[in-house]
Structure 1
Amino acid sequence: MLTFTIKKLQPVFTETLTPPACHSASIAELPDGSLACVWYSGSFEGSKDTVLYWSKSGSEGGWEKPRVVVELPGLSTGNPVLWHDGEKLNLYFVILYGDWWSEAKVSYTSSMDNGATWSPKKLLWDEAGTMLRTPPLRLTTGEILLPIYDERAWCSLILRSEDNGQTWRKYGDATARGITIQPSLVELEDGRVLAYSRSSKGFIYVSWSYNKGLSWTASQPLPLVNNNTGIDLIRSDEGLLLVHNDTATGRHRLVVSHSTDEGNHWKLTAVLEDSEGEFSYPTMIQAQSGKIHIVYTNQRQTINHIEVVLSR
């Protein structure tokens, strides 16, 4: 039986940021074993004063004081995603060229020095309504799959690169328009790619690719409750882990589920939060140490970080 032991729960920051409403955190491990976290902060979701904040874990195990890493006066930014590709740290994010996510486009910047300096910001995908939420997946054969979604059509998609992120092509419309967004990906032991998506129908939806992301099976609901909110799915040393809000209403309960059979069956492993308010938009990684790290929104006021040890 898998034991999910919470070793540490702490906010990434305790001060009130300017602007104050925080959401949609992403976490990555750096080559030296330290952690990096990024999120957006604005007066409200979609506000023109929204910026991206960044912090790194300190030598004493806490987090450094947050600093603004992306600020575009007059334009809102959102849904940042951190990912280290083995050579550089990549920060993907969206810019709102209008009043809502339906006018968003995906941009990126990268750092060769673990976030001390960043390259000029560039547009990655010039199609309005394109959003992202979860980290890329590098397949064992080398291709990179970046999960995206179409805010206008409400459809889960991917961007696929065969040249380490230099160029991208879009794939993955899994006949779920108006139903799914925010896919999260893992590669299965048999080479298939598994995609779990947030949905508007009350359950997590699943789709598979048998050809490295070039095409996808029709999305179907799973017996996993999802109240139209973000999830994250990873492969750990102990099987697949899913962090999600398993509630029919609200975003107050946040849990981790575990699968030992490639997602065919799931068992609730840990309850991270279960009280009034909002605990949402989790992102999860397994570090080189074997520890699991999860960051998520806490009441839109701060970002929580949970450190977990897996054992049997």
Structure 2
Amino acid sequence: MDASEPVDEGNHRTALLTAPAPQSHAANLMPLPDGDMGCAWFAGTQEGMSDIDIWFARFRSDGTWSTPERVSADPHHSEQNPVLFPTPRGELWLLYTAQHAGDQDTAEVRVRVSTDSGHTWGAARTLVPASGSRGVFIRQPIVVLDSGRWLLPVFHCVRPERGKWRGDHDTSAVLVSDDEGETWQHHDVPNSTGCVHMNIVRTADGTLLAMFRRRQADAVHASHSTDGVHWSPPEPTELPNNNSSIQLTALRDGGLALVYNASSAADATARRTSLYDEINQDSAEAVEEEPPGPAFWGAPRAPLTLALSPDNGKTWPFRHDIEAGDGHCLTNDSRNGANRELSYPSIAQASDGELHIAFTHFRQAIKHVRLAPDQTFT
């Protein structure tokens, strides 16, 4: 299915990306080696189902999107959370997770490599396997330091001693490579239980800042490092979080831009079951094995908000809602209007300074928004 034609919406220029499937979710934007802007996401019947695959499209210099194409197709796994990574040597990596059903504790990270900016792809291989009762998940880009060191932020989906994975015990870590991805060393983020989707950027003062989604749906958390290996324990920021994804990028003018949902558990009037419960609705016995833990699910996933920081993430004085709504998300099912989330944003700055934002629109499509540089602060 083709992308929709771009539409002017006030200061924004928007388009919708869809796959021939009921659900689309978890977009990732990245400037490509050939100058286009790439977007990858997952689509299928419903998150956790075996027909969930990765899709890819490119925003071209003429202002149009290419026809989305499927770039993964494992009939036995749910393939999710794609991340695009242009390597220093000119390759384009597509990383994504593969898991059994809604059991994120079984997830591994896979990769496909393109040498022509995503027009063709090599075979998929496992980059990071699952380990025992811990699945490994990704959501945010690889960061390359001036030293050549690669940083891949991951989070571990931990199965409890009793029952199934529900997100209660998830932790973050950084995989570090000093040989361009040939080998990786694992480094846990201290005291990070509940902090996931670690998003690393280099700030204008030369240090590293990481920001996190929070399973407890209270606030975006932040951590700091000077080398990418040793991190401070995450601490809450002034920004709310609803146990949904965020994304942060460093702007060319030295500021930081964050897209997120300006909501939290305090805004929730109802709670949904975990993803495991939704995928396994007929398994009542398994659901009852362990009472719900501290992970909070069901806080509204709206509005979709852009925040800007001029001081390396210490404060966020400018905030602008890209799109508003009730953010109803008591189910992952995208059919019949049951899900109205505006979530899982991705943000990238193009070479001309324009900001590109993509996010999940009602789980039915990926919405692309463009902001010209002079519109960003108005």
What TM-score do you get using the length of structure 2 for normalisation? 0.77
Q: Give 5+ residue unaligned stretches, structure 1.
A: none
Which region of structure 1 is more displaced relative to structure 2, 152-161 or 222-231? 152-161
Which residue of the other structure, out of 75, 78, 93, is the alignment partner of 2:77? 75
Q: Which amino acid aligns with 1:159?
A: L
**What secondary structure sits across from 1:151 in the alignment?**
strand
- When the two chains are superposed, the root-mean-square deviation of aligned CA atoms in Å is 1.6
Higher relative contact order (CA 8 A, sep 6+): 1
Whether the 8 Å contact between 2:49 and 2:101 is mirrored in structure 1 is no
Structure with bigger gyration radius: 2
* 1:120 and 2:120 aligned: no
What residue number does 1:299 align with?
Answer: 362
Whether the 8 Å contact between 2:191 and 2:234 is mirrored in structure 1 is yes
What residue number does 1:44 align with?
Answer: 46
What residue number does 1:12 align with?
Answer: 17
Which residue of the other structure, out of 166, 180, 187, is the alignment partner of 2:182? 166
What residue number does 2:317 align with?
Answer: 267
What residue number does 1:236 align with?
Answer: 251
| Deviation of the 1:9 alpha carbon | 1.3
What residue number does 2:215 align with?
Answer: 200
Which residue of the other structure, out of 336, 341, 347, is the alignment partner of 1:284? 347
Whether the 8 Å contact between 1:98 and 1:104 is mirrored in structure 2 is no
| Deviation of the 1:180 alpha carbon | 0.7
What residue number does 2:139 align with?
Answer: 133
| Deviation of the 1:59 alpha carbon | 5.0
| Deviation of the 1:160 alpha carbon | 1.1
* Superimposed CA distance per residue, residues 114-155 of structure 1 (whole angstroms, 9 cap, x where no aligned partner): 112111111111124100001111112221111110111411
Whether the 8 Å contact between 1:296 and 1:303 is mirrored in structure 2 is yes
Which residue of the other structure, out of 175, 183, 191, is the alignment partner of 1:175? 191
Whether the 8 Å contact between 2:48 and 2:101 is mirrored in structure 1 is no
* Superimposed CA distance per residue, residues 160-195 of structure 1 (whole angstroms, 9 cap, x where no aligned partner): 111122221111322122x11101111123332111
CA distance in 2, matches of 1:306, 1:99: 30
| Deviation of the 1:263 alpha carbon | 0.8
What residue number does 1:257 align with?
Answer: 307
Which residue of the other structure, out of 102, 106, 128, is the alignment partner of 1:103? 106
Instruction: Count residues in correspondence.
Output: 303
Pairing of 1:18-29 with structure 2 (within 5 A) = 18-29=20-31
Q: Give 5+ residue unaligned stretches, structure 2.
A: 1-9, 159-168, 265-298, 327-339
| Deviation of the 1:278 alpha carbon | 0.5
CA distance in 2, matches of 1:139, 1:269: 29
Q: Which amino acid aligns with 2:212?
A: S
Identify the structure with the greater strand proportion: 1
Whether the 8 Å contact between 2:174 and 2:229 is mirrored in structure 1 is no
What TM-score do you get using the length of structure 1 for normalisation? 0.92
CA distance in 2, matches of 1:286, 1:48: 33
Q: Identity over aligned residues, as a percent?
A: 30
The list of structure 1 runs, each at least 4 consecutive aligned residues, that deviate by more than 6 angstroms after superposition, is: none
**What secondary structure sits across from 1:101 in the alignment?**
strand
